[in-house]
C-alpha cells in the first residue's frame, strides 16, 4: 500500500459512518418509506396512487455520506400526466402526513422538510419521466442520477467518494450552491467512478490542463465554456460541473498535488478558521497600508443561491467602477449574515483634482476639432495641449475621494444585484479605514479568511 | 485677395528685411567673401587654393530670412582629395584670418564663428563632392541644398517661406535642433516650393493624414517611419523631416486649421510667455491636487543637441519607473538652464505597503509549483491564494513613497542619459509638493508653459 493509499484508509476510518449509524439510518428510511406509501394510499386519488412510488436518493442512498451528515432524501415520484399544480398539492399533502412537524420549502416547486429520529429529511415530489432529457424540473433528474450511480458505486468506490468529499470540504470547494460554486456530490461521485478511485483521480487532477472534459457515456451534444466539463451520463446536453468555478478547479489541483506529494491526513480535516478580532484586523490594516472601505447594509431576505450571485455582481460592479475612477482596488470580498458587506481595499483613498483625458489624434480632423472646441473655452480644464499626435486635456475628476463616491447616489449607476439595489436604496453605511475593524464582531471568520488567505 | 492672403501679406510686411538691411547684408557678404578668397590664396598651398571656392548658403543667401535674423553662412569648399585633418586645419586657418576676433566651434568638424558688422557669421569648411549622396560629413550637403532651392525660390515664394517660418516660430515648432525637434529652414522651404506657396501649404496641412510623404524628385529609396517624410531632393536616402516630432507635425496641423479658419496676424507673433511666479505655481498645485516631484541638478556641460535628448531619456526612464511602481505620472517635463530639472507630477505620493503579484495559472504545473514554493513560507507576503485560475500573493512593495525612490540609488538602475547619470552621481536634490514652486525663480517661463499648456 502506498503512503497515499494509507492516508486514504486513515481518513476513511474517521469519515465512514459506523455500523450503528448505518443501521439507525436504514431503520429511519424504512419507517419513512412506509409512512409515505401509506400516505399516498390514504390521501391521493387511487389512479394517482397506483402510479406513484417512493425512492431514496442522495449520498445516504449510496453509502457515500460522511459520518454525521444526517440527510435523508426521499423522492415521491408521480405519474407524468399529473398536472403541476396537482403535483405540488399532492407533494405537500404527503409531506405533511409523513412529517407533521415539518415545514415547507420552495425550490422549483414546494417540498416538505423536517427531522425524524435525528435525521434531516427532505420529502420531494417529482415526475416519473422516460429519461433525464425529458425532465420537467431539475429534481426529476435526481432519480436518474441515483440509478446511474447506484449501479456503479461499489463499497470501495463509496469509500473513495467519502475521502474525496472530505478533502473538498476541508479546502472549501465542496458544494454546488452559488455561494461556494464548488463540486456537487453527484460530480464527486462521477469523477471517482471515472478514474476508478480517489488516488488515480488526485494523481490526474494534479496534472489537469483545463478545459478538462469527461463524457462517460460518450454522448455529449454541446460545447461548454467551463474549465471542467463532465457531460451528464443521463443528459447529453448538460455539464454536471457547469457551476464549478475556475478557482475551485485550481484549488482541487493545488491540494491534489499537495496530498500526492506529501500524503497526510491533516489536509482532510482543516477546520473553519477561528474568527479574527478587531485588534487583529487593525494590525493587518496597518501592516498593509491600504484603505479598506466597507458598504454595509441589511442582508436582503434571499436564499444563499440568490443572495450570493447578487452580492458578487454588486461587488464586481462597484469594484470595477472604483478601479475605473482610479482608486485601484487591491482586493474585494462580499460576505453576508444578518448584514451584508461589500469590502473593497483600495490603494488610493484620495486622488488629484485633475485627470488626464486623451482626445483623438489631431489629424483625425472632425473628431479632433470637436474635442478641441469642446474644451478650448473651458476654464475648468488644463489644455487642450498636444502630446505626441493627440490633443490632451486635464479635466476635473468627478470623484476624488473613494468614500464620498460610495456614499453618493452614483453607486446606483453601477450594475448591482436587483435586491441588493433595493436594500441599498433604503439606506446603507460606509465604513472606512480602522472603522472596518468593527466588522469583526459579525464577520470574524470571513475576515480571518480575507487577511490570512490560503489556496 | 482672400482674407488669408491679406494676412500673409501683412505678416510679411513685418518680417521681410527692408532694403537697408538687405544692402548692409549684401555688402557684408561681399567683404567677407573677398577676405576668404584672399586668405585661401595667401594661406593655403597653391594646388589646394586652386580647387577651393566660397559659397554663401542659408536663408540669407536665398532671401528667406526674417528681419533681424542676422546669420551669414559662408562655406569654404575644398577639393575632395584633401584629407580630413588637412581640411580641418585649412578651415581654421582661413577662418581665423577672416574673423580674427572669432572663436572655434565644433560640429562634425571644427569651424570658426564670429561677428562682422553686426552679423553673426559662420565660416564652415566642407568638401566639394559629386553629389549629395557622396558626402563625407553632414555639412557637405548644404551646398547642394542651397543650389536646389536657389533655382526654385522666387521672390514670391521667399515671402511665403518667411511667413511660414514666422508661424512655426510663434508656435514653437521651428528648428531642427534636438530640443525643439521641429521644422528646419530647409524643410520649410521645400514644403513651400512643393505646394507653390504658404496658403496652399497651410490649407493642405490642415487635412494631412500622417504619415505624409513628399518626394519632389521622385527618387526616394527607403521607407521612413516618421509622421512627415520629405525625401531630400539631393539625397534619395534621406528624410529631411526625420527629426520632426509627431507633436510638431500635429502642432502645424492645429495652427494651420486655426489660421485658415480664422485668418489673423496675432497667431504669427505669439511671444514667449511671461514667467510664472512662486505663488502662481503654488496656486496651480493646490488646484490640481497632485504631488509634484522635481529632480534638480547642475546642468551637464553639453550643447543643447546633446543635452535635451539625454534629459528626455532620463525623464522617460524615471517616469516609466514611477508609473511601473504605481505612483501614476500625470505629466512630466524636463528643462535646463544653469540647473536641469526633471519634473514629475504624480497622482499618488504614497502607496500601500503591499502590492498584488499575480503568479501563473495553477494548471501550468512547473511554473505554478515554483511560484508557490517561492512564497509559501514567506512570512512577508499574504498568500499564495487562488484568484480565478491563478496563484496570487500580496507582497511588500519595494517603494511606497515616490520621493524616497527618487532620493535612492535605485534611480541609477533606470536608463538615464549618460552625462545626466554622471552629474546625478555627484549629487542632486529632490523637491516635493510646494517646494517645487521655488523653481519659478530659474524656470518661470517653463512653468508657465507647463501650467498653462497650449497646443
Quote the ipTM score.
0.92
Nearest residue on chain A to B448, alpha-carbon basis: A382
**Closest-CA residue of chain B to A386:** B455
Which residue of chain A has the CA closest to B365? A207
Stretch 348-387 of chain A: residues touching chain B, C-beta under 8 Å: 348, 351-356, 361-363, 365, 369, 372, 382-387
pLDDT for the residue numbered A175: 96
Lowest mean pLDDT among A102-116, A214-228, A240-254, B343-357: A102-116
- Closest-CA distance, B101 to chain A, in angstroms, reads 44
Of A254, A287, A328, the CB nearest to B386: A254
pLDDT in tens, A277-324: 999 999 999 999 999 999 999 999 998 999 999 999 999 999 999 999
**Confidence tier at A429 by pLDDT (50, 70, 90):** very high
* Residue pLDDT, tens place only, A21-60: 999 999 999 999 999 999 999 999 999 999 999 999 999 9
The nearest alpha carbon in chain A to B356 belongs to A330
What does pTM read for this prediction?
0.87
**Fold category of B17-138 in CATH:** Beta Polymerase; domain 2 (3.30.460)
Chain B residues close to A293, C-beta within 8 Å: none
Which residues have CB under 8 Å from B243's CB, separation 6+?
B176, B178, B181, B184
pLDDT digit string (tens) for B248-299?
Answer: 999 999 999 999 999 999 999 998 899 999 999 999 999 999 999 999 999 9
Shortest alpha-carbon distance between residue B233 and chain A (Å): 26
- B-chain CB neighbours of A388 within 8 Å are 246-247, 250
A181 touches chain B (CB under 8 A): no
Q: What is the pLDDT of residue B357?
A: 97
Evaluate if residue A107 carries a pLDDT over 90.
no
Work out the pLDDT band at B247, boundaries 50, 70, 90.
very high
Q: pLDDT: is B70 or A173 the higher one?
A: A173
Helix (H) or strand (E) holding A41, with range, is: helix A19-43
Which of B254, B353, B365 is nearest residue A287 as measured by Cβ atoms?
B353
Task: Report how far residue B214's alpha carbon sits from residue B228's, in angstroms, rounded to the nearest whole number.
Answer: 8
Q: Where are the domains of chain B?
A: 17-138, 155-269, 278-350+400-451, 354-396
**DSSP secondary structure letters along A74-139:** EEEEEETTS-HHHHHHHHHHHHHHH-TT-EEEESSSEEEEEEETTEEEEEEEEEE-SSGGG-SSGG
Contact B347 A326 (CB under 8 A): yes
The alpha-carbon gap from B351 to the nearest alpha carbon of chain A, in Å, equals 6
Closest-CA residue of A relative to B208 is A363
Interior angle at CA A450, CA A445 and CA A453, nearest 5: 105
With contacts defined as CB-CB under 8 Å, which chain B residues touch A356?
330-331
pLDDT at position A106, please?
83
What average pLDDT does range A86-104 have in this prediction?
Answer: 93
pLDDT-based confidence at residue A174 (cuts at 50, 70, 90)? very high
Answer yes or no: is pLDDT of A112 > 90. Answer: yes
In A248-267, the residues whose Cβ lies within 8 Å of chain B are 249-251, 253-254, 257
Residue pLDDT, tens place only, A326-339 = 999 999 999 999 99
Superfamily the domain A155-269 falls into: CCA tRNA nucleotidyltransferase, domain 2 (1.10.1410.30)
Contact A362 B253 (CB under 8 A): yes
Mean pLDDT to the nearest integer, A408-429? 96
For a pLDDT cut of 70, what percent of chain B falls above it? Answer: 100
Contact yes or no for B143/B135 (Cβ under 8 A): no
- Confidence tier at B130 by pLDDT (50, 70, 90): confident
With contacts defined as CB-CB under 8 Å, which chain A residues touch B253? 362-363
The per-residue pLDDT for range A128-158, each reduced to its tens digit, is: 998 877 888 888 999 999 999 999 999 999 9
Confidence (pLDDT) at B137: 83
Q: In CATH, which of 1.10.10.60, 3.40.50.170, 3.30.460.10, 3.30.70.580 is domain A16-149?
A: 3.30.460.10
Domain covering A278-350+400-451 assigned CATH 3.30.70.590 in the classification: yes
pLDDT computed for residue B70 by the predictor: 86
- pLDDT at B108 > cutoff 80: no
**Whole-number Å distance between alpha carbons of B294 and B210:** 35
pLDDT at B224: 96
- Whether the CB of B394 is below 8 Å from some CB of chain A: the reply is yes
3-state secondary structure of A7: helix
pLDDT at B20: 94
Which pLDDT does position A38 carry in this prediction?
95
Amino acid at each position: 500500500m502506498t503512503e497515499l493509499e494509507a492516508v486514504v484508509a486513515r481518513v476513511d476510518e474517521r469519515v465512514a459512518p459506523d455500523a450503528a449509524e448505518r443501521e439507525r439510518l436504514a431503520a429511519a428510511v424504512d419507517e419513512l418509506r412506509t409512512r409515505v406509501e401509506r400516505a399516498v394510499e390514504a390521501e391521493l386519488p387511487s389512479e394517482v396512487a397506483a402510479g406513484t412510488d417512493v425512492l431514496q436518493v442522495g449520498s445516504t442512498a449510496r453509502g457515500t455520506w460522511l459520518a454525521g451528515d444526517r440527510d435523508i432524501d426521499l423522492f415521491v415520484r408521480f405519474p407524468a400526466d399529473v398536472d403541476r399544480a396537482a403535483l405540488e398539492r399532492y407533494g405537500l399533502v404527503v409531506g405533511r402526513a409523513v412529517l407533521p412537524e415539518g415545514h415547507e420549502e420552495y425550490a422549483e416547486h414546494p417540498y416538505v422538510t423536517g427531522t425524524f429520529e435525528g435525521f434531516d429529511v427532505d420529502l420531494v415530489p417529482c415526475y416519473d419521466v422516460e429519461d433525464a432529457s425529458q425532465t420537467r424540473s431539475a429534481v426529476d433528474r435526481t432519480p436518474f442520477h441515483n440509478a446511474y450511480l447506484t449501479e456503479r458505486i461499489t463499497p470501495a468506490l463509496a469509500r473513495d467518494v467519502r475521502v474525496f468529499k472530505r478533502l473538498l470540504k476541508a479546502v472549501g470547494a465542496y458544494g454546488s450552491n452559488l455561494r461556494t460554486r464548488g463540486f456537487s456530490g453527484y460530480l464527486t461521485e462521477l469523477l471517482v467512478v471515472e478514474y476508478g478511485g480517489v488516488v488515480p483521480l488526485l494523481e490526474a487532477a494534479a496534472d489537469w490542463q483545463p478545459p478538462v472534459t469527461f463524457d462517460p457515456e460518450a454522448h455529449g451534444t454541446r460545447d461548454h465554456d467551463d474549465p471542467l466539463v463532465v457531460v451528464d451520463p443521463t443528459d447529453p446536453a448538460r455539464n454536471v460541473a457547469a457551476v464549478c468555478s475556475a478557482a475551485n478547479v485550481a484549488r482541487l489541483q493545488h491540494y491534489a498535488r499537495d496530498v500526492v506529494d506529501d500524503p497526510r491526513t491533516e489536509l482532510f480535516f482543516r477546520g473553519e478558521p477561528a474568527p479574527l478580532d478587531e485588534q487583529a484586523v487593525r494590525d493587518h490594516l496597518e501592516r498593509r497600508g491600504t484603505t479598506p472601505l466597507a458598504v454595509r447594509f441589511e442582508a436582503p431576505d434571499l436564499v444563499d443561491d440568490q443572495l450570493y450571485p447578487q452580492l458578487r455582481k454588486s461587488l464586481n460592479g462597484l469594484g470595477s467602477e472604483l478601479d475605473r475612477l482610479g482608486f485601484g482596488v487591491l482586493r474585494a470580498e462580499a460576505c453576508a449574515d444578518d448584514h451584508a458587506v461589500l469590502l473593497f481595499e483600495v490603494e488610493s483613498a484620495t486622488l488629484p483634482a485633475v485627470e488626464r483625458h486623451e482626445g483623438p489624434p489631431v489629424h483625425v480632423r472632425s473628431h479632433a476639432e470637436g474635442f478641441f472646441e469642446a474644451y478650448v473655452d473651458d476654464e475648468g480644464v488644463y489644455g487642450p495641449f498636444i502630446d505626441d499626435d493627440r490633443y490632451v486635456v486635464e479635466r476635473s475628476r468627478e470623484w476624488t475621494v473613494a468614500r464620498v463616491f460610495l456614499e453618493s447616489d452614483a453607486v446606483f449607476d453601477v450594475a448591482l444585484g436587483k435586491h441588493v439595489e433595493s436594500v441599498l436604496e433604503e439606506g446603507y453605511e460606509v465604513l472606512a479605514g480602522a472603522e472596518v475593524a468593527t466588522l469583526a464582531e459579525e464577520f470574524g471568520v470571513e475576515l480571518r479568511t480575507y487577511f490570512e488567505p490560503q489556496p
